[in-house]
Amino acid sequence: MGGRVVLGSGGGVVDWLTMTIQMVSLGVAVWCLVSFFQDRPMLVPHLIGTGVLWLLVLGQVGAAVAAMVGGDRPDELPMLISYLATIALLPPACAVWGFMERSKWGPAVIAFACFVLPVLLVRIEQLWSPVA
């Protein structure tokens, strides 16, 4: 396992990207909650926020896939791949949900998804490098 130039314990995932995604995700979640309580449907700014989040997540997934192709593989590979697929699909899925539900419950779904996303990232880090 030696010779890796990855800071921290995230294995093939990029630590600072994980931090950024978690921050942005929680930010979008709080913002959507505010919209929910203000009785607003999903609007273009929400979509842009979700889109930015998606790009960051795709960057993370790309880095993880690159690391796996490079031979750095955790023990529970199928689990990890399913988690990566989930985080890649989560932002677009909640955006579609926001389109279908043109009421304040659209932002509520996005807020939920954005609260789940940081948890999934934590699980991915755990999968990649189980606490010794």
Q: Shortest distance, CB of residue 101 to other proteins, whole angstroms?
A: 4
Select 14 or 118, whichever has its Cβ closest to other proteins.
118
Q: Does 29 bind other proteins (CB under 8 A)?
A: no
Q: Which two tokens stand for residue 60?
A: 């993370």
The amino acid present at 62, given as its one-letter code, is G
* DSSP codes, 90-120: HHHHHHHHHHH--STHHHHHHHHHHHHHHHH
Select 20 or 86, whichever has its Cβ closest to other proteins.
86
Q: Shortest distance, CB of residue 117 to other proteins, whole angstroms?
A: 11
Q: Does 116 bind other proteins (CB under 8 A)?
A: yes
Q: Tell me, what DSSP letter sits at residue 109? A: H
Closest Cα to residue 14, out of 49, 66, 51?
A: 66
Sign of the dihedral defined by the CA atoms of residues 70, 52, 111, 24, in that order: positive
Q: Which of residues 73-112 bind other proteins (CB under 8 A)?
A: 78-79, 82, 86, 94, 97, 100-101, 103, 105-106, 108-109, 112
Q: Shortest distance, CB of residue 6 to other proteins, whole angstroms?
A: 26
Q: Which residues contact 76 (CB under 8 A, 6 or more apart)?
A: 127
Note the residues at the interface with other proteins (CB under 8 A): 78-79, 82, 86, 94, 97, 100-101, 103, 105-106, 108-109, 112-113, 116
